[in-house]
């Protein structure tokens, strides 16, 4: 595509040379990936500034530079006020606005995002639709899966992937949308058709200055549904039981579908029965009522199923398809996932890494536990420190024995993280085992028939980050090995 055509979406820019003859093969923001014929966009990040790598980009074949300031260059430089915003605009233009060609669903909230996206994938697949999913665990295009670095990647990656999805005949794209991504503008240029809010509890206060700032960032997804009514219906799916419901409802000009359990909503779960094998409830909706028998356990998963069902209704999917999908899905990687279920005791791995999600999971376990409950849990380094004692206190609230250990300590001292967790907690039925493998082994060795072990915090992750290095580490594999060794 001609550079001048790509830049036509920018109202103002300044070029130091004639750009009319230049054709762009690809757009890159990583100088190491630049090839001959590429446009290199200089992005100033938290630790690295792309302006410092212009020379490398030129050496690799860049034919033009998009920047915020003058940089040494023997090729055309296009200056703009904000390359982050400009990148979203030119990427959408370059890839021919792929999200206008297929429905896009965004899911935001503190907990439940991944589960809701996978429930939606299951429902849409049952309705004979090909799906694309971008989220915490991976990116999927149909049945093909790819690793992913961030919950919500940058705008360039997104536009490229949505273009790929469209080329591969994806009918609907589904994406987890983090508060960081919304605040940093990573989803600029994405034309959302449905925005889903799961819930909000304390998290990411290492990034957001307070909870008000956190919910402000979340609300951007709903305001970005737009103000126009051009014949394309758009929907906001909001949890009415969450205290932030009213703010989010006011944030959007589009249709609102509410869901909930405790407050009257358009999509509701009634007659809820929870046990160790099945979750049963009656799903009441504007288009009918149907009974659900799901293998997804816990009240938090009832909410997840309500959110997915509300979105399905917005897409005019019949209730019998919703029922079939919800009843056939067995679970999501690292979300309340049983390890070696043939054992006389139960071992569960879950991604619960906030006080609210840990509370939800432990409450569910307490509902069917016959023996002792053991919890192995830690807190991540370089993250919100204020939630550390909250996590510890919730573990002690429900567990017969808590084992506090390392999560992903990153650049912090694991001992200090653990000290932050236990400072001021009430109760002494805990021990501190710094090494996560040793902590999991300790819990397995303590467990007797009918006991339950919850290994919380990392879920699907297959690494442990210590310093700046990621080491192979999977809670499920470590627990499985510990169980085999015990035998």
Question: What confidence score (pLDDT) does residue 394 get?
Answer: 95
Contacts 24+ apart (CB under 8 A), 126-129: 126/321, 126/324, 126/325, 126/328, 127/317, 127/318, 127/321, 129/171, 129/172
Whose CA is closest to 220, among 184, 255, 172?
A: 184
- The residue-averaged pLDDT of 13-35 equals 95
Whose CA is closest to 213, among 224, 203, 227?
A: 203
Distance CA(483)–CA(172), nearest Å, equals 41
pLDDT tens track for 353-395: 988 889 989 999 998 899 999 999 999 999 989 999 999 999 9
Q: In Å, what is the CA distance from 359 to each residue of 329, 353, 403?
A: 24, 10, 16
Question: What confidence score (pLDDT) does residue 180 get?
Answer: 83
Distance CA(134)–CA(152), nearest Å, equals 7
Question: What confidence score (pLDDT) does residue 46 get?
Answer: 77
**Residue 41: pLDDT above 70?**
yes
Question: What confidence score (pLDDT) does residue 453 get?
Answer: 97
**Residue 202: pLDDT above 60?**
no
pLDDT tens track for 452-478: 999 999 999 999 999 999 999 999 999
Distance CA(13)–CA(79), nearest Å, equals 6
The more confident residue out of 259 and 335 is 259
- The residue-averaged pLDDT of 62-82 equals 95
- The residue-averaged pLDDT of 64-77 equals 94
Residues with Cβ within 8 Å of residue 140, at least 6 apart in sequence: 121, 131, 132, 133, 146
pLDDT band at 151 (very low <50, low <70, confident <90, very high): low
**Residue 288: pLDDT above 90?**
yes
Tokens of 259: 């869901």
Q: In Å, what is the CA distance from 74 to each residue of 78, 97, 306?
A: 12, 31, 57
The mean predicted confidence, pLDDT, of the chain is 93
pLDDT band at 209 (very low <50, low <70, confident <90, very high): low
pLDDT band at 161 (very low <50, low <70, confident <90, very high): very high
Chain CA centroid to CA 19, Å: 40
Which residue has 């979406």 as its token pair?
A: 9
CB atoms within 10 A of CB 465: 18
Distance CA(348)–CA(341), nearest Å, equals 9
pLDDT tens track for 407-445: 999 999 999 999 999 998 888 999 999 999 999 999 999
pLDDT tens track for 295-344: 998 999 999 999 999 999 999 999 999 999 999 998 888 999 989 888 89
Q: In Å, what is the CA distance from 344 to each residue of 296, 340, 444, 451?
A: 21, 10, 11, 8
First CA to last CA distance, the chain: 63
Tokens of 5: 């055509």
**Residue 47: pLDDT above 90?**
no
- The residue-averaged pLDDT of 92-114 equals 95
Domains of the chain: 3-94 (3.40.1390.10), 98-328 (3.40.1190.10), 337-486 (3.90.190.20)
**Residue 230: pLDDT above 90?**
no
pLDDT band at 205 (very low <50, low <70, confident <90, very high): low
The answer to whether the beta carbons of residues 121 and 109 sit under 8 Å apart is no
Question: What confidence score (pLDDT) does residue 305 get?
Answer: 98
3-state secondary structure of 231: coil
Partnered with residue 77 across adjacent β-strands are 65
Which residue has 């429905």 as its token pair?
A: 103
């Amino acid at each position: 595509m001609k550079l001048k055509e790509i830049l036509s979406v920018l109202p103002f820019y300044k070029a130091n040379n004639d750009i009319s003859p230049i054709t762009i093969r690809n757009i890159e923001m990583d100088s190491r990936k630049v090839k001959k014929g590429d446009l290199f966009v200089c992005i100033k990040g938290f630790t690295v500034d792309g302006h410092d790598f212009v020379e490398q980009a030129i050496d690799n074949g860049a034919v033009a530079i998009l920047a915020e300031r003058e940089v040494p260059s023997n090729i055309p430089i296009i200056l703009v006020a904000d390359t982050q915003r400009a990148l979203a605009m030119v990427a959408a233009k370059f890839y021919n606005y792929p999200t206008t060609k297929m429905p896009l669903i965004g899911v935001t909230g503190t907990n439940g995002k991944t589960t809701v996206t996978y429930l939606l994938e299951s429902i849409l697949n049952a309705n004979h639709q090909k799906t694309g999913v971008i989220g915490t665990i991976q990116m999927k295009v149909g049945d093909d899966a790819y690793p992913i670095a961030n919950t919500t990647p940058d705008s360039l990656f997104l536009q490229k992937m949505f273009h790929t999805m469209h080329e591969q005949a994806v009918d609907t794209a589904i994406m987890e949308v983090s508060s960081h991504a919304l605040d940093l503008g990573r989803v600029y240029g994405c034309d959302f058709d449905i925005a889903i809010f799961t819930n909000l509890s304390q998290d990411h206060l290492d990034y957001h200055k307070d909870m008000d700032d956190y919910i402000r960032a979340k609300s951007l997804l709903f305001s970005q549904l737009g103000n126009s009514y051009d014949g394309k219906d758009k929907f906001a799916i909001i949890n009415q039981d969450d205290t932030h419901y009213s703010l989010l409802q006011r944030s959007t000009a589009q249709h609102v579908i509410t869901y909930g359990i405790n407050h009257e909503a358009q999509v509701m779960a009634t007659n809820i029965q929870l046990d160790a094998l099945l979750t049963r409830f009656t799903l009441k909706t504007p288009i009918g009522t149907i009974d659900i028998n799901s293998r997804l356990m816990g009240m938090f998963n009832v909410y997840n199923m309500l959110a997915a069902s509300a979105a399905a209704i917005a897409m005019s999917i019949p209730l019998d398809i919703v029922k079939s999908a919800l009843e056939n899905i067995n679970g999501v990687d690292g979300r309340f996932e049983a390890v070696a279920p043939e054992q006389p005791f139960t071992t569960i791995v879950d991604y619960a890494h906030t006080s609210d999600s840990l509370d939800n999971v432990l409450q569910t376990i307490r509902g069917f536990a016959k023996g002792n409950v053991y919890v192995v849990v830690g807190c991540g380094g370089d993250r919100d420190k204020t939630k550390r004692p909250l996590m510890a206190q919730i573990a002690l609230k429900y567990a017969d024995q808590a084992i506090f250990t390392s999560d992903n300590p990153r650049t912090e001292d694991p001992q200090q993280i653990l000290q932050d967790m236990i400072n001021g907690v009430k109760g002494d039925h805990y021990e501190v085992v710094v090494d996560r493998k040793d902590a999991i082994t300790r819990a397995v060795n303590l467990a007797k028939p009918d006991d339950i072990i919850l290994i919380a915090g990392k879920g699907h992750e297959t690494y442990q980050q210590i310093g700046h290095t990621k080491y192979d580490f999977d809670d499920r594999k470590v627990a499985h090995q510990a169980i085999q060794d015990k035998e």
